[in-house]
Structure 1
Amino acid sequence: MKAQYVSYKAKSMINRLRHVDDWFWGRYTLNPYRGCSHGCVYCDARANQYGLSESFDQKVLVKENAVAVLERQLPRLKRDVVSMGGVCDSYQPIEKDRRLTKEVVETLHRHRFPVQVLTKSDLVLRDLELYREVNRGAWACVFFTITTFDPYVAGQFEPGASSPEERLVAMTEVAKAGVTTGVAMMPLLPGISDDDANIADIVKRVKDAGGQFVLGGGLTLKEGTQRERYMTFLGMHYPQALSLHQRLYGDGFETRGSYGPELLRRVRDICAEHGIPDRMTRPILPEDPLAANKQIAEKLFLRAYDLTLEEASSYRTWAYRKAAWAVDEMEENIESIYRQEDRKGLLRIKGIGKTLAREIEGWLQPGL
């Protein structure tokens, strides 16, 4: 069914996250369109938490007043990374004619905000020179979702998107332009695209094409339309994988047991074999007075991720995550605190005990 596009006046354009996204490093999220005509079968934007209609891939709202609303909002916000495309693809087909995403990025650039775009479309190349300008003034990242290069599987699960081959070509051009790029290998589907051969094929091709990272992740199955649609689709087209999904997920939205951490360990190992990181390096603006806080927080977030992969106790994992949030959201420079008060100053930070204080001290002493 062809998507219907409807003009819509947004009250707000930019959403400030409660905590920084420690996968993509966005502080803010933004979607020029409400809905997405790519029609990906696995998309969890159909989940109730996003407030989108069940038919959001058939009726897409175009936020016609996006620039005017942004011009009102941006001067009140602290500059940090704006992530686009996490829910509704900013370069879905309507963008070719409407050019709303381009107008939005131009507005963010005028206000010197770093911009990050995740997409399944090679249409983003139309705006490559704009992203180069954003990158010169702040920071830009354009990266792509690729979960398989099998044209049959991709065509079934991502019917409205550019082909994976087209996305890889686009990523190659982004890399040549000097803009940060890579691949979100998400979601890897149990029994369909989560095998080592598929993962290695993607990782190798991304590395050879100039990608700087490959992020791996599994599928979430959220109660309601998303889960029902996806499981019905499996029953019709991949019945051999249906029982595996039922066993792994039960009634939950995440896999049970060791499947999730084991999948991410395999992604990490394969990335290491090919010499490409399985995490995205956090961007730091040169003039950021709290750069040290962000760098220390990044190390704490990475340690929490390591513990997740090691299947450590949730208490240990959350201790690092909460400490990362505390450091990241401080208004005082952690280097200044340490210079003035040594370890005692670190112990004053919420969530930092003796063990974490010693670890942070080790990072601060040799210089960041």
Structure 2
Amino acid sequence: MHFTKVKGILSTKNGMNLYRGCSHGCIYCDSRSACYNMQHDFEDIEIKENAVELLEEALKRKRRRCMIGMGSMCDPYMPIEMTVQLTLKSLLLIEKYGFGATLITKSDKVLRDIDIIDRINRKSKAVTAMTLTTADENLCKLIEPNVCTTKRRYEVLKEFQRRGIPTVVWLTPILPFINDTEENLRQILDMCFDAGVKGIICFDFGVTLRKGDREYFYSKLDEHFPKLKDKYINTYGNSYICSSPNNKRLMDIFTAECKSHGVMYKPEDIFEYINEFQEKDGQTSLFDSGD
């Protein structure tokens, strides 16, 4: 790990990444892509040491309260967070100034902060988004090796359900020729429905690959799935979007099941829900792109 000071922390859409890089080791991670111009090894986590101070300054300046997002590029609950505590300190500021929060994670370490998230949700709104990709625990340990498995993430979703804290699931990526099966999809959906998630985000059944990410992904295919790299190259070449051959059938099942269970499945509807700040008096407002 290493420390750095940054000039700003909130994006124009009120999202932030307190760290740069990740230790989860997911074989498909787009954040490894060269287009992000990371100047250090991906596993050498960059800690934005002045992030909390910058966040407080930004929250004080805002004319309207809104949802603050964490986790779009790196998980806010990597093991390093348990000692550095940037996520914890940020949540306390969000609570202090009356904002809402959205967290995207694969880690059960989010439970450390469930009381704070609960308080934010009672005052305004807090949404916890959990990524689920495979119902196979052994496969999960191969493709997402350094983070808790899907079964544990499901247990986390159930705990949030018990607290009445809204949750969303990112059903992505689904890796062609690996976990793009109807059985896997239905098992994940069963977990989502049982945990009472508000919505499930799935743009496509497949994976995106580009320079940096692709090379790492292929090295892991060689390690865990011999000869599968050649099948990817022959099927997709250098395409960015690598859709599963089963995409249409799986998407039809996904859509039908979400409709029948009353769960949001259109990405635009889910993002509108996530971004909608709930005032204490019941009035709502969509956060704007600036201050």
TM-score (normalizing by structure 2): 0.86
- Pick from 278, 281, 285 the counterpart of residue 285 of structure 1: 278
Q: Distance in 1 between matches of 2:283 and 2:113?
A: 31
Q: Distance in 1 between matches of 2:46 and 2:207?
A: 26
| Secondary structure of 2:57's aligned partner | helix
Residues 1:74 and 2:74 are matched in the alignment: no
Give yes or no for contact 1:36–1:88 (8 Å, CA) kept in 2.
yes
Which stretch of the first structure deviates more once superposed, 60-69 or 38-47? 60-69
Residues 1:181 and 2:171 are matched in the alignment: no
Q: Which has the higher contact order (CA 8 A, sep 6+)?
A: 2
| Pairwise CA distance, 1:9 | 1.7
| Pairwise CA distance, 1:216 | 2.1
Residues 1:220 and 2:208 are matched in the alignment: yes
Q: Distance in 2 between matches of 1:28 and 1:241?
A: 40
* Greater helix content: 1
CA deviation digits over 1:329-358, x for unaligned, max 9?
A: 8xxxxxxxxxxxxxxxxxxxxxxxxxxxxx
| Secondary structure of 1:186's aligned partner | coil
Give yes or no for contact 1:33–1:60 (8 Å, CA) kept in 2.
yes
Q: Which runs of 5+ in 1 are unaligned?
A: 17-26, 295-327, 330-368
| Pairwise CA distance, 1:28 | 2.0
Q: Distance in 2 between matches of 1:102 and 1:48?
A: 30
- Pick from 33, 46, 61 the counterpart of residue 47 of structure 1: 33
Q: Distance in 2 between matches of 1:274 and 1:289?
A: 27
Give yes or no for contact 1:172–1:211 (8 Å, CA) kept in 2.
no
Query: RMSD across aligned C-alpha pairs, in angstroms?
Result: 2.5
Q: Which runs of 5+ in 2 are unaligned?
A: none
TM-score (normalizing by structure 1): 0.69
**Structure 1 match to 2:6:** 10
* 1:155–1:87 distance in 2 versus 1, CA, 3 Å: same
Which stretch of the first structure deviates more once superposed, 240-249 or 224-233? 240-249
| Pairwise CA distance, 1:251 | 1.5
The structure whose Rg is larger is 1
Q: Distance in 2 between matches of 1:273 and 1:138?
A: 29
CA deviation digits over 1:85-131, x for unaligned, max 9?
A: 11110000011222221001111222222210011111111111101
* 1:66–1:256 distance in 2 versus 1, CA, 3 Å: closer
Q: Distance in 2 between matches of 1:185 and 1:247?
A: 26
| Pairwise CA distance, 1:206 | 1.7
Percent identity for Structure 1 against Structure 2: 31
- Pick from 105, 110, 133 the counterpart of residue 96 of structure 2: 110
| Pairwise CA distance, 1:244 | 4.3
Q: Distance in 1 between matches of 2:284 and 2:259?
A: 31
Alignment map for 1:24-103 (pairs within 5 Å):
27-53=13-39, 55-57=41-43, 59-77=44-62, 78-103=64-89
- Pick from 203, 217, 235 the counterpart of residue 222 of structure 2: 235
Q: Distance in 2 between matches of 1:250 and 1:79?
A: 46
Give yes or no for contact 2:67–2:99 (8 Å, CA) kept in 1.
yes
| Pairwise CA distance, 1:221 | 0.4
Q: Distance in 2 between matches of 1:37 and 1:268?
A: 33
| Secondary structure of 1:141's aligned partner | strand
| Secondary structure of 2:201's aligned partner | strand
Residues 1:271 and 2:264 are matched in the alignment: no
Q: Distance in 1 between matches of 2:257 and 2:31?
A: 29
